[in-house]
Structure 1
Amino acid sequence: MKPLGRFTENALELRKILQIIGKHCRSELGTKTLYGILPAQDRKQLDLRQALLRNVLRYREIEGDFPWDSRVVPVTVLLEEAKSSALMSGEDLVHVRNLIALATEVRNEIRRVQERFVELEQIGRRIRDFSEELVLLGVLDEEGFLYDHATLQLKEIRNRIDSLKATIRKTGQALLNDPATSNLLQDRVLSLRNGRFVVLVRAENISSYPGIAIDRSSSGNSFYVEPYRLAALNNRLSAALEEERQEVFRILRRITLKLLERETAISEAESALGSLDLVCAEAEMVERGGWHLPEISPSPGFRFRGLVHPLLGEKAVPIDIACGDDFSVLVVTGPNTGGKTVALKTVGVAVILSWMGLPISASEGSVVGEIDSVHVDVGDEQSIEQNLSTFSAHVKNIVSILRETGPGSLVLLDELGSGTDPQEGAALGIALLEAFREKGALVLATTHHNSIKTYALTTPGVETASMEFDPVSLKPTFALLMGIPGKSNALLIAERLGMPPSVIERARASLRGEDVSAEELIGQLQEKRAVLETEARNLAEERARLTAARQSLESRISRFEAAKEERLKEADRKAGKIVREAQEAARELLRSLEKSKTVPAAHQAISVKGRELEKIRNEAEIREEKRLERRSVKAEGIRLQPGDLVQMVDSSVKGIVESISGEKVTLVAGSFRMEVPMNRLKKAGDELPKTRPEISVKTIRPVGIPGSIMIRGMTVDEALPEVERYLDQAYRAGYDQVAVIHGRGTGTLRKAVQELLKSLSYVREYRLGEHGEGGYGVTIVTFSR
């Protein structure tokens, strides 16, 4: 897509919409990248942007958030300013260190997961190795002050300074306590003034104190005096401090020059972090804001589902709108304040955001085609400086759009044909639509002119839509109705707003016959549509009730089958017990037979027990055969097609297969039609093998328990219950090792987690993450097995 013009950006309020996404950026790097983003130049670039966002969404779902440091700020401007002086302050150098340290951490993380998230390499390959620079910048503390060990010379100078200060303080303390002069002092405190140690002497005693006055107090009642005994020591201290200043200057310049050699790499790393910050903000819009990435079609056009304008928030009414498949021009009509202009702007915004590779405030399944450029004529562009009327400003803008459009262009025209004589305006509007069609452009236009509505209804390749108006409340609903023209309802709105009835009636009488007929025809169409929509809603509600009833019945059948299976198992258990008891009784009879001489009586008893056993065995075998039959059907499955004769397992019910949907079969049995799970059916007449199916058992890890838990940003009270619950689940799921991601921060959360780990009996050991595992921001937990 070509770059947008300033007028298009302003007319669509694009900056305000980008600010919505910008609120989710974590640093100025992200917002800077966002406000500098341009539409993708071609489909390849757009596909790369979308693929990166999808990868980041998957990463966040599996791994949590990316490493980040809230202290990072843009540093390219600091490097640019340092070119003239070749010197950066310690504070600015710390900013550079923070940025390249974060870039290094992000680079390492991307390398760790690059095989699973290949598109992250779009960011990772832009970050170079900064290990030397990080070592070089390691001589600075967080405030930008050089550590003593920065160089041997700096260490020696600072040691000398510390020694001199100690000597001066000792000597000064002796002066403060000297009885000969202490009574001349304002107070007994040794102060530092202009880099020299001094005492505070009362003004009336200044001529009596042995020293040199170097400053006066703000009250004027005393002087800062350098005692003669401290002068030489102060001179030596001043010389040492100057040496320190020169050495610090030399070190900072050396570091600055080294960083300027890597300016390009640092700038690229800053850009990569900005891209990451932005794409994470986009992910937030998808995860929490309900925005979605549209599909990209190779042909020009768009089809949006549930589209809303981002600036309207929750009060926005979603619309479904399309253009480009069967028609290239869409004319939107309807009442004033009914939402036509908003619909126009919403489409323009959605198309532009889509080609920027950003998510849009629409439902899943929305599609955007290859649109080459976007042109807008929206609102009152009257120019006082150019002495142009509203109509003239519109015409001038449209003439410019006509010159620039071609195949694949999207043109948005608000209030087509307005601002001049209605007949001439309508004729010009129709001619413009034809001109844009000839150029192969897509056009979305709003209008009140009946002539343009008629043109849209009667011209192939042109479609009409309208903003719905409630004739009862006399208010717009802001819903868009594709394929139906709309009434302007100007007289109804005027009447609702208090226009006298006499004026309304006179206006109705003044309307031409054809205008009245067109408006009445449109009104009838809308009434019929409302009736059809009511019927459709009723049918949908009835279908929902039937679906709920069917699901309830299926649930009851399932529960009945489970209860039946359990009762059969219980019967088998009881039968087994009876068999065992009968066998024991038989053995007891045999033992009695050996001792008894009443053989006939014993044989009779054995015969009775034998018949009982046989009956029990037969009943158990029948139940087992049925159970095996059911299991065999479930394990092996059957291939069915409409028209097959089938029988329900465990039932004599037979029927004909009417249709198959997944694992559900619609069965016609006599006058009944029912939906039955496929695993409860067998082909009628088929003999199923009665061999027991082989059953393999393996331990599986429960779905949904990840290998890590993210608690960064929680309080200790919030985090500990979550961590303990997660560790218990992970241990029972069979994990040997998991990670608790608590972030670096102040270390409070890390310490609390590790105290918890000490108390858990199933935790064998724990440690901080190593390089590539998250470092101090992660605790690795190993379970006892």
Structure 2
Amino acid sequence: MDQTTLDKLQYEDLKKLVKEYCVSDYGRRLVDELTPSSDIQTVKKTLTETNEARRILETGKTIPFIGSANIKTMLTKLNQSTVFQPDELIEMADFLRGCRKIRALITAEKTLAPKLVAMIDQMASYPEIESKLYDDIRNHQVDSSASGKLRKVRRHLEMTEQKIKDQLSRFLSASGNQRYIQDAVISLKDDRFAIPIKANYKNQVSGSIVGSSAKGTTVFIEPAAVGKLSSERDQLRGEESVIVYQILAKLTNLVAEKQTQISQNIRIIGELDFIFAKGKYSKAINGITPALNTEDRIKLVQCPHPLLSADAVPLDFTIGDRYRSLIITGPNAGGKTVTLKTVGLVTLAVMSGFQIRAEKGTTIAIFNNVFADIGDDQSLTNALSTFSSHIRNLSNILENTGTRTLLLLDEIGSGTEPNEGAAIAITLLQAYYKKGAITIATTHYGEIKDYAQNHPDFINAAMQFDVKNLRPLYQLVIGESGDSNAFWIAHKMAIPENLIAQAKGYLRHEPYDYTKIAPELLPVHHEAKAAKNNALAKGDRVLFNGGTLEGLVYRIDQGTDKVVVYSSGKMLTMPGKQLKLKMAASELYPEGYDLNQLFR
């Protein structure tokens, strides 16, 4: 699939929404690697899996993906013959328990999820390894019950440490030692039991200095009386470490012996995590599985753009049955581009196994290719104009277009002289059509509308516009052609009616007015008016600095000759006599216009 198109249609943003529902790194990686499939059987399979996951979730059951987050990393360590630490073995036990519980949970839902049951049938369960790991590792360490030898060494170690503490307690209670002691406590410094001694008495106490305080006023001394016991303790700690390592190695080996099967479990759990992420996303949006086809037929019923909020205006749309090319017209910001992106992203979503927000009756075609030419790809480094870049994209699309291809073309032929642009656009639309593509294009050009009106396999569509309130309705009506509503906007913006009527006449190919007016018959220039009338008002456009600078009147300070003018992003205060009126606000803006918007 064309990466530029995926970027234009915000496919990665859609995948991010799904990825948020993943639990494991493996599942997130599967989302990252996902691309739309052109094989209808693959799409059917993935949509069925998504739907089965959704069904299980709707029963209220929680899928226990415990221990799955970093399991792939642990298996990599296993491949490197690394002995697992206690916490890693517990995480492996959690993973094995999760596998067992997921297997039991999904198996119990055979009627709801037959395909997922077939998947988990390939998973292995190892309850004996799981139990062994939980029994031998407790409280983040190897438990004494894991080995009789370990139990014996730890008991001896505990007795030795108690003897050391008893000796130190006697040291603390001896009256002759009181003047040396900083605090009457037994401290542990660098794994050695010691007594806090005042620094100026450190040479008066027999023993080894094992540390000191930050200020140096206290030293920690291990008295000579416990030296032999400390050596015995060190020896026991060494024996304990050897036995613990041997147990960890043995437990790691238990896992390593099942490495192949556990690797398969990891793969299946990762896939299940991915599938249930799709199911969670579907449940969140109340998605549906649409009907599928390979006959280029698309029908959207109340289908909003996947990335827009729940209250976005849904789209009703159809193509591929009675016509193969659809030309959308209407005002700027009326929703034409959103319509293209909605059709494109919904198609990619379904081809990726995602359910979509839509109503029953929705049908999606599975295409070999989807191409989009949307937005301005002007390249400054290559000195390409907007039109040059636009035509380059259209040329590349033409080269790669064939049957089972969806084309989404925004403002086709724009960016150049209108007549030439329209001619090139119509020629390309013909070429795409003859190569078997399904084309959805937007335009303002009347010639393209006329072409679509007369071609038996083309049709016009219009984005609805509320002319009374001057706002787009974001609704598509197929079979009608729209316009840019320029005349309605001109009327609302107080363009004189006689000028609007004159413009409509030009649109009907009435002759243009080429009459020359003698200079003496021209109206008085605005600057001349200004000379006669220096009264200014907020929003007036004025000249200053000898007519070289321009600004808008923001405020007239009453009782003074001072006027505050907004120019080049700054507020300037100057005498009114230095200003010349260029055009009054009453001539610039319609009645009722909020002039404060000019200064924000």
> Normalising to structure 1: TM-score of the pair?
0.61
Residue 481 of structure 2 aligns with which residue? 485
Residue 105 of structure 1 aligns with which residue? 101
Residue 92 of structure 2 aligns with which residue? 96
Residue 13 of structure 1 aligns with which residue? 10
Residue 296 of structure 1 aligns with which residue? 292
Percent identical among aligned pairs is 28
Aligned to 2:175, which of 162, 174, 179?
Answer: 179
Given that 1:74 and 1:270 are in contact with CA atoms closer than 8 Å, whether structure 2 keeps it comes out as no
Given that 2:464 and 2:477 are in contact with CA atoms closer than 8 Å, whether structure 1 keeps it comes out as yes
Trace 1:501-580 onto structure 2 (pairs within 5 A): 501=496, 505=500, 508=503, 511-514=506-509
Tell me how far apart the structure 2 counterparts of residues 260 and 360 of structure 1 sit (CA, whole Å). 42
Residue 303 of structure 2 aligns with which residue? 307
Q: What SS does the corresponding residue of 2:444 show, helix, strand or coil?
A: coil
TM-superposed CA distance for 1:282, in Å, is: 3.6
Aligned to 1:119, which of 109, 115, 118?
Answer: 115
Instruction: Give the structure with the larger helix fraction.
Output: 1
TM-superposed CA distance for 1:463, in Å, is: 1.6
Q: Counterpart of 1:329 in structure 2: which amino acid? A: S
Q: Please state if 1:237 is matched with 2:233.
A: yes
Looking at both structures, which has the greater relative contact order when contacts are Cα pairs under 8 Å and sequence separation is at least 6? 2
Residue 43 of structure 1 aligns with which residue? 40
Tell me how far apart the structure 1 counterparts of residues 88 and 381 of structure 2 sit (CA, whole Å). 46
Task: Structure 2: state its 5+ residue gaps.
Answer: 512-600
Residue 342 of structure 2 aligns with which residue? 346
Tell me how far apart the structure 1 counterparts of residues 199 and 337 of structure 2 sit (CA, whole Å). 80
Q: Cα deviations across residues 350-382 of structure 1 (Å, max 9, x unaligned)?
A: 101111111112112201123112111111111
Aligned to 1:158, which of 130, 140, 154?
Answer: 154
Matched residue count: 511
Residue 192 of structure 2 aligns with which residue? 196
Q: Cα deviations across residues 720-759 of structure 1 (Å, max 9, x unaligned)?
A: xxxxxxxxxxxxxxxxxxxxxxxxxxxxxxxxxxxxxxxx
Q: Counterpart of 1:217 in structure 2: which amino acid? A: S
Tell me how far apart the structure 2 counterparts of residues 130 and 30 of structure 1 sit (CA, whole Å). 22
Residue 515 of structure 2 aligns with which residue? none
Trace 1:626-641 onto structure 2 (pairs within 5 A): none
Of 404-413 and 501-510, the range deviating more from structure 2: 501-510
Q: What SS does the corresponding residue of 2:157 show, helix, strand or coil?
A: helix
Trace 1:380-779 onto structure 2 (pairs within 5 A): 380-493=376-489, 496=492, 498=493, 501=496, 505=500, 508=503, 511-514=506-509
Residue 268 of structure 1 aligns with which residue? 264
Q: What SS does the corresponding residue of 1:97 show, helix, strand or coil?
A: helix
TM-superposed CA distance for 1:436, in Å, is: 1.2
Tell me how far apart the structure 1 counterparts of residues 438 and 180 of structure 2 sit (CA, whole Å). 93
Q: Please state if 1:33 is matched with 2:30.
A: yes
TM-superposed CA distance for 1:159, in Å, is: 2.0
Q: Cα deviations across residues 306-359 of structure 1 (Å, max 9, x unaligned)?
A: 010122213311111111112111111111000000010011111011111111
Q: Cα deviations across residues 544-576 of structure 1 (Å, max 9, x unaligned)?
A: xxxxxxxxxxxxxxxxxxxxxxxxxxxxxxxxx
Q: Counterpart of 1:38 in structure 2: which amino acid? A: T
Q: Cα deviations across residues 615-653 of structure 1 (Å, max 9, x unaligned)?
A: xxxxxxxxxxxxxxxxxxxxxxxxxxxxxxxxxxxxxxx
Q: Cα deviations across residues 154-194 of structure 1 (Å, max 9, x unaligned)?
A: 32332222122111111111111122223211011111111
Q: Counterpart of 2:49 in structure 1: which amino acid? A: L
Tell me how far apart the structure 1 counterparts of residues 497 and 257 of structure 2 sit (CA, whole Å). 83
Of 35-44 and 414-423, the range deviating more from structure 2: 35-44
Go from structure 1 to structure 2 and tell me whether the alpha carbon gap of 1:284 and 1:113 turns closer, same or farther (over 3 Å shift): closer
Residue 72 of structure 2 aligns with which residue? 76
Go from structure 1 to structure 2 and tell me whether the alpha carbon gap of 1:130 and 1:420 turns closer, same or farther (over 3 Å shift): farther
Of 92-101 and 52-61, the range deviating more from structure 2: 52-61
Q: What SS does the corresponding residue of 1:114 show, helix, strand or coil?
A: coil
Q: Cα deviations across residues 51-92 of structure 1 (Å, max 9, x unaligned)?
A: 22333344445x532442566413112322454361333223
Residue 606 of structure 1 aligns with which residue? none
Structure 1 or 2, whichever has the larger Rg, is 1
Tell me how far apart the structure 2 counterparts of residues 193 and 324 of structure 1 sit (CA, whole Å). 80
Q: Please state if 1:371 is matched with 2:367.
A: yes
Q: Counterpart of 1:6 in structure 2: which amino acid? A: Q
> Normalising to structure 2: TM-score of the pair?
0.79
Go from structure 1 to structure 2 and tell me whether the alpha carbon gap of 1:379 and 1:494 turns closer, same or farther (over 3 Å shift): farther
Q: Counterpart of 1:19 in structure 2: which amino acid? A: K
Q: Cα deviations across residues 115-147 of structure 1 (Å, max 9, x unaligned)?
A: 663222243134222334313422454653221
Go from structure 1 to structure 2 and tell me whether the alpha carbon gap of 1:386 and 1:133 turns closer, same or farther (over 3 Å shift): farther
TM-superposed CA distance for 1:511, in Å, is: 4.1
Tell me how far apart the structure 1 counterparts of residues 155 and 499 of structure 2 sit (CA, whole Å). 96
Go from structure 1 to structure 2 and tell me whether the alpha carbon gap of 1:85 and 1:503 turns closer, same or farther (over 3 Å shift): farther
Tell me how far apart the structure 2 counterparts of residues 167 and 20 of structure 1 sit (CA, whole Å). 61
TM-superposed CA distance for 1:469, in Å, is: 0.8
Residue 362 of structure 1 aligns with which residue? 358
Tell me how far apart the structure 2 counterparts of residues 246 and 513 of structure 1 sit (CA, whole Å). 97
Tell me how far apart the structure 2 counterparts of residues 50 and 218 of structure 1 sit (CA, whole Å). 65
Go from structure 1 to structure 2 and tell me whether the alpha carbon gap of 1:57 and 1:261 turns closer, same or farther (over 3 Å shift): same
Q: Counterpart of 2:168 in structure 1: which amino acid? A: G
Q: Counterpart of 1:420 in structure 2: which amino acid? A: T
TM-superposed CA distance for 1:239, in Å, is: 2.3
Q: What SS does the corresponding residue of 2:407 show, helix, strand or coil?
A: strand
Tell me how far apart the structure 2 counterparts of residues 362 and 369 of structure 1 sit (CA, whole Å). 15
Go from structure 1 to structure 2 and tell me whether the alpha carbon gap of 1:252 and 1:187 turns closer, same or farther (over 3 Å shift): same
Q: What SS does the corresponding residue of 2:307 show, helix, strand or coil?
A: helix
Q: What SS does the corresponding residue of 1:432 show, helix, strand or coil?
A: helix
Q: Cα deviations across residues 263-316 of structure 1 (Å, max 9, x unaligned)?
A: 443343334334334444444444452321111124222111001012221331
Q: Counterpart of 2:5 in structure 1: which amino acid? A: T
Go from structure 1 to structure 2 and tell me whether the alpha carbon gap of 1:269 and 1:515 turns closer, same or farther (over 3 Å shift): farther
Go from structure 1 to structure 2 and tell me whether the alpha carbon gap of 1:190 and 1:456 turns closer, same or farther (over 3 Å shift): same
Given that 1:94 and 1:140 are in contact with CA atoms closer than 8 Å, whether structure 2 keeps it comes out as no
TM-superposed CA distance for 1:457, in Å, is: 0.9
Tell me how far apart the structure 2 counterparts of residues 429 and 485 of structure 1 sit (CA, whole Å). 17
Tell me how far apart the structure 1 counterparts of residues 84 and 195 of structure 2 sit (CA, whole Å). 37
Given that 1:73 and 1:95 are in contact with CA atoms closer than 8 Å, whether structure 2 keeps it comes out as no
Q: Cα deviations across residues 662-684 of structure 1 (Å, max 9, x unaligned)?
A: xxxxxxxxxxxxxxxxxxxxxxx
Q: What SS does the corresponding residue of 1:174 show, helix, strand or coil?
A: helix
Q: Counterpart of 2:234 in structure 1: which amino acid? A: S
Tell me how far apart the structure 2 counterparts of residues 142 and 429 of structure 1 sit (CA, whole Å). 72
Given that 1:307 and 1:362 are in contact with CA atoms closer than 8 Å, whether structure 2 keeps it comes out as yes
